[in-house]
Structure 1
Amino acid sequence: MRRKLATAAGALLAMAASVFAAPATAQAADPAPGFHVEDGRLLDANGNDFVLRGVNHAHAWYPDRTGRALADIKALGANSVRVVLSTGDRWTKNGTADVAAVVERCKANRLVCVLEAHDTTGYGEQDGAVSLSRAVDYWIEVQQAVKGQEKYVILNLGNEPHGNSGYTAWTADTSNAISRMRTAGFEHTLMADAPNWGQDWAFTMRDNAPGVFAADPRRNTVFSIHMYGVYDTAAEVRDYLNRFVSRGLPLVVGEFGDAHSDGNPDEDAIMAAAEESGLGYLGWSWSGNGGGVEYLDMATDFDASRLTTWGKRLFDGPHGIKRTAREASVFGTGGGDTRAPTAPGTPAASAVTSSGVRLTWAAATDNTAVTAYDVVRVHAAQETQVTTTTTNSAAVSGLTASTAYTFAVYARDAAGNRSPRSATVSVTTASGPSTGKCAVTYRLSDWGSVFNADVTVRNTGTQEIKGWQLDFAFPGSQTLNSAWNAKVVQQGTQLRATNESWTETIPAGGAVSFGLNGSSTGANGIPAAFSLNGVTCAKS
């Protein structure tokens, strides 16, 4: 997997996340045949506003996983996927036939396909990286695979096309690449990644985007910022996004994560600000990360039933994909499906335990097909989504013993239309224990003066653990710098980690993970012991 180098601005990147708002400038004389930018927005071929809500998938490295991955990504609610392709300069080439097959798989799963050439990553700094000009050569070579697919495909010229050396050439290089693509006959919406390994900490893209957009004769280019450690505060996130929105420039968050070795990106702010501004985002990445950034996997070993903490946050959390994604209207009929399903039947409760319940309901009906059901908890005048399923039953876990809950269900179709809410059902959980046995894995990545630790807490008991506190001690002279997916404090050598809201529950037989970044002045190692909620855990 790709590794990014330390920068003078303190941005150390390892693996390489989007909807748009575009400038209110004159449009091309001839309308685009597919996606197009108009008055600061990305519109689909039917003229409907479209906001990207999806993830990245590393097809170039895992081509045999793509079919299943796209189906799973769609089933989890995404409306788009950014697909890694190789020009053949650094990795095995994805040729015309392969690219055409990827496009067909995207369409079969009703996903907008953002195709990107990855070999440009870190050009000028990364050994073997190629220029945007070389990426254009590749697009021309595989043009037949995407010609006529402008309604379904967006072309991302090149991933992170400049590192932290020579990045001032980004403006001319990007303008020239766009010009060559148009001369070659590409009518697609084009996406331009930022320099500085995608993070634009020197603001080259931010300050020069108006000129680059104006240089596109079709006025159909959108810009993509990758948000990792440079964007570790809400103020930085909002300032960058708002600079584009205020000028009517099209922007996407083409990559982002919930953690990184160069700092802890504020994924909550990224997702919230994107939704507030009507901008899209594409999280990095579905599965298969390496090079020390395995924590960016959303699904463990490409298994959609084993979402990681990051995957659960992106799909199920506030401002997440399930709650905000809307399918592109080009996948409907007659300009898009706008008819909502009927309301599901009243849920019936069974298998009530101290921590969970199974709900079943009569299926909803729709003019096309019901694709998912959203189960919500109703409390006071508010609703909280607790799970999504493709069948008319669901197991709800993470409940507190001896507590009353009220649930209801919505149905959704493939176009994202949501039904009226079902009638509610009230359930009181049984009494019982909330903690069980535990095991902890502490995986250390040590670079001498700095280190990362990936900590996995497993519940080996038969009852879920709701709310947790993990106590342990550094083995030497280590200092905590930051943490993600848990709140961690240090006193002397002792550390205490407590759950975030999205890592609160550890199911029976399940696990949660969190990460640490620290500094070390001596020998490092694995903590000698771990205690979860006062119970000593096994080390694994």
Structure 2
Amino acid sequence: MRRVLVAICAALLAATGAVLALGNPAYAATGLHVSGTDIYEANGAKFVMRGVNHAHTWYTSQTSSFANIKATGANTVRVVLSGGRWTANSASDVANVISLCKANKLICILEDHDTTGYGEDSAAYTLDQAANYWISLKSVLQGQEDYVAINIGNEPIGNTNPSQWTAATVAAVKKMRDNGFQHLLVIDAPNWGQDWQTVMRDNGQAVLDADAQHNTVLSIHMYSVYAQAATITSYLDAFKAKGWPLIIGEFGWQFDSSQVDDQTVLSEAVKRDIGYIGWSWSGNTDPILDLVLSFDVNQKTTWYHRLFDGVNGITATSKQATIYGTGGTTSPSPSQSASTSPSSSPSASPSQPAGKACTASYAISGSWPGGFQGDVKVTAGSSAITGWTVTWTYANGQKVSNAWSATVTSSGSTVTAKNVSYNGSLGAGASTSFGFLGSWTGTNPVPALSCTAV
């Protein structure tokens, strides 16, 4: 979506076309990869994107947003970049973005915003120019295939001659592969991303076939065209029938009181295991689509609660990528100066306890003046469990401010963390993890943990 939202003159989707050929076969990818209609990690774990767009190119100083986005429970951040239409994001800046994603255990979709509305907006770049931008960044992108997907161009064609999308996209995909990129590629639709003339819906197979690695996912942006549940379900049904991989790379909740049917977007995506990424964390000229105002997590908007809360929201349905393990340690954000080394505590017991029991270990995975990131790994004992509670007491005034993958409460210096809906049931010896952000002064020692299970 462009920084200043444009009014789109759009018609409802045409009737779903006939069922075409089945989707692409699996490819032994280096990292994130497509198999059938789904995205998988290199180890074969299925990954369903649940995340937020971040307007980095216009707000490069807002690096704390990555940790704040992670604190919501999101597993993905789609990062706005520019190769020159706005102030260009250099290779060093992009490397820093990737480090921020990794430090906060987020899968990173990098997108070039320069192409937005080509053919209708005279300032827009071509997809070929976007491919050249990615080629200029190859040195910092290679080797990051487990963590990074490349969205070649944001909303690459406007409403003028959208049929040009097919040939331009095929050429861009081939150029990326010819230049050695093995990353998962993300392809936006024309019509400012909304595909209301169904060009992507009707011609997506040509784009998928252009990828010799069969590692491309198509992306629809759902705004004013998608005001009715029937329009949403019809579009998603068409992709399901064709067997094509799809994510909802952007969507909002309204331009006015009748738009958008965001709750159907959420429910249908969850039902179909389709990834979704809300626009956007903060910084819109019209803040109607800001999730937090002025990048302040204490100013959550209506849109924030609609996207994150509820049974189909990000907090309830997001699962962290397994590439980040089930606890462990990560490096502190490059934008912060580390003041302590990562450390972890041993499990509460050196052996697996009998019966319905659990152990927990605590790690400081990143630290900076006044703040830190912690991770806790919970492991079931010799029997399966259906829920767990971890408690600890801070000795030096530390406080937990935000948490993900657990419900965390504090009473004085005592912290209690309980499982959420998707990670309470563990088989014998199985593990899960949760994370949090905290504050500290003076010293920040690792506390002793207590774990109880049901």
TM-score by length of 1: 0.61
Q: Is the 8 A contact 1:370 1:411 kept in 2?
A: no
Q: Is the 8 A contact 2:116 2:156 kept in 1?
A: yes
Q: Say whether residues 1:56 and 2:53 are aligned partners.
A: yes
Equivalent position amino acid for 1:392 in 2: T
Distance 1:163 1:178 in 2: 19
- Select 2:307's aligned residue among 310, 314, 321: 314
Distance 1:394 1:164 in 2: 56
Distance 1:288 1:334 in 2: 32
Structure 1 residue 243: Cα displacement: 1.0
Alpha carbons of structure 1 residues 220 and 105: separation in structure 2 relative to 1, 3 Å: same
Structure 1 residue 27: Cα displacement: 3.7
- Select 1:224's aligned residue among 190, 199, 219: 219
Equivalent position amino acid for 2:310 in 1: G
Task: State the identity as a percent.
Answer: 47
Q: Residue deviations 1:104-126, cap 9 Å, x none?
A: 11001000000000010000111
Structure 1 residue 318: Cα displacement: 2.9
- Select 1:418's aligned residue among 406, 414, 424: 424
Q: Is the 8 A contact 2:327 2:376 kept in 1?
A: no
The corresponding residue for 1:331 is: 324
Distance 1:6 1:247 in 2: 31
Comparing 76-85 and 33-42, the one that deviates more:
33-42
Which SS does the other structure have where 1:392 is aligned?
Answer: strand
Alpha carbons of structure 1 residues 374 and 388: separation in structure 2 relative to 1, 3 Å: farther
Q: Say whether residues 1:256 and 2:256 are aligned partners.
A: no
Q: Is the 8 A contact 1:412 1:419 kept in 2?
A: no
Structure 1 residue 365: Cα displacement: 5.4
Distance 1:295 1:334 in 2: 36
Q: Residue deviations 1:365-401, cap 9 Å, x none?
A: 53464399999xxxxxxxxxxx997743389xxxxxx
Q: Is the 8 A contact 1:112 1:152 kept in 2?
A: yes
> Where in structure 2 are the equivalents of 1:5-20 lying within 5 Å?
5-9=6-10
Which SS does the other structure have where 2:281 is aligned?
Answer: coil
Q: Say whether residues 1:393 and 2:405 are aligned partners.
A: no
Distance 2:111 2:411 in 1: 37
Q: Is the 8 A contact 2:173 2:211 kept in 1?
A: yes
Structure 1 residue 167: Cα displacement: 1.0
Structure 1 residue 417: Cα displacement: 3.1
Which SS does the other structure have where 1:137 is aligned?
Answer: helix
Which SS does the other structure have where 1:60 is aligned?
Answer: helix
Structure 1 residue 263: Cα displacement: 5.3
* Larger Rg belongs to: 1
The corresponding residue for 2:25 is: 26
The corresponding residue for 1:284 is: 279
Q: Say whether residues 1:86 and 2:82 are aligned partners.
A: yes
- Which runs of 5 or more structure 1 residues have no equivalent in the other structure? 12-21, 336-340, 343-363, 376-386, 396-407, 421-540
Which SS does the other structure have where 1:65 is aligned?
Answer: coil
The corresponding residue for 1:2 is: 3
User: More strand per residue: 1 or 2?
Assistant: 1
Equivalent position amino acid for 2:279 in 1: W
Q: Say whether residues 1:214 and 2:209 are aligned partners.
A: yes
> Where in structure 2 are the equivalents of 1:150-169 lying within 5 Å?
150-169=145-164
The corresponding residue for 1:502 is: none
Equivalent position amino acid for 2:56 in 1: H
The corresponding residue for 2:140 is: 145
Alpha carbons of structure 1 residues 262 and 158: separation in structure 2 relative to 1, 3 Å: farther
Q: Say whether residues 1:129 and 2:124 are aligned partners.
A: yes
Distance 1:409 1:77 in 2: 15
For the aligned residue pairs, the C-alpha RMSD in angstroms reads: 3.0
Equivalent position amino acid for 2:419 in 1: A
Q: Say whether residues 1:65 and 2:62 are aligned partners.
A: yes
Q: Is the 8 A contact 1:44 1:50 kept in 2?
A: yes
The corresponding residue for 1:379 is: none
Equivalent position amino acid for 1:285 in 2: S
Q: Is the 8 A contact 1:84 1:117 kept in 2?
A: yes
Distance 1:303 1:257 in 2: 19
Alpha carbons of structure 1 residues 112 and 48: separation in structure 2 relative to 1, 3 Å: same
Which SS does the other structure have where 1:82 is aligned?
Answer: strand
Structure 1 residue 198: Cα displacement: 0.4
Distance 1:262 1:119 in 2: 30
The corresponding residue for 1:176 is: 171
- Select 2:295's aligned residue among 291, 302, 305: 302
Which SS does the other structure have where 1:173 is aligned?
Answer: helix
Q: Is the 8 A contact 1:23 1:250 kept in 2?
A: no
Q: Residue deviations 1:329-381, cap 9 Å, x none?
A: 1111699xxxxx99xxxxxxxxxxxxxxxxxxxxx953464399999xxxxxx
Structure 1 residue 411: Cα displacement: 2.4
Q: Residue deviations 1:458-501, cap 9 Å, x none?
A: xxxxxxxxxxxxxxxxxxxxxxxxxxxxxxxxxxxxxxxxxxxx
- Select 2:360's aligned residue among 357, 366, 387: 366
Alpha carbons of structure 1 residues 110 and 245: separation in structure 2 relative to 1, 3 Å: same
Q: Is the 8 A contact 2:327 2:377 kept in 1?
A: no
Distance 1:298 1:25 in 2: 35
Equivalent position amino acid for 1:199 in 2: Q
The corresponding residue for 2:40 is: 43
Q: Say whether residues 1:186 and 2:192 are aligned partners.
A: no
TM-score by length of 2: 0.72
Q: Residue deviations 1:85-132, cap 9 Å, x none?
A: 0111x2100011000110011001000000000010000111311110
Q: Is the 8 A contact 2:24 2:244 kept in 1?
A: no
Equivalent position amino acid for 1:331 in 2: Y
The corresponding residue for 2:434 is: none
Distance 1:285 1:23 in 2: 33
Alpha carbons of structure 1 residues 262 and 311: separation in structure 2 relative to 1, 3 Å: closer
Equivalent position amino acid for 2:155 in 1: E
Q: Is the 8 A contact 2:406 2:418 kept in 1?
A: no
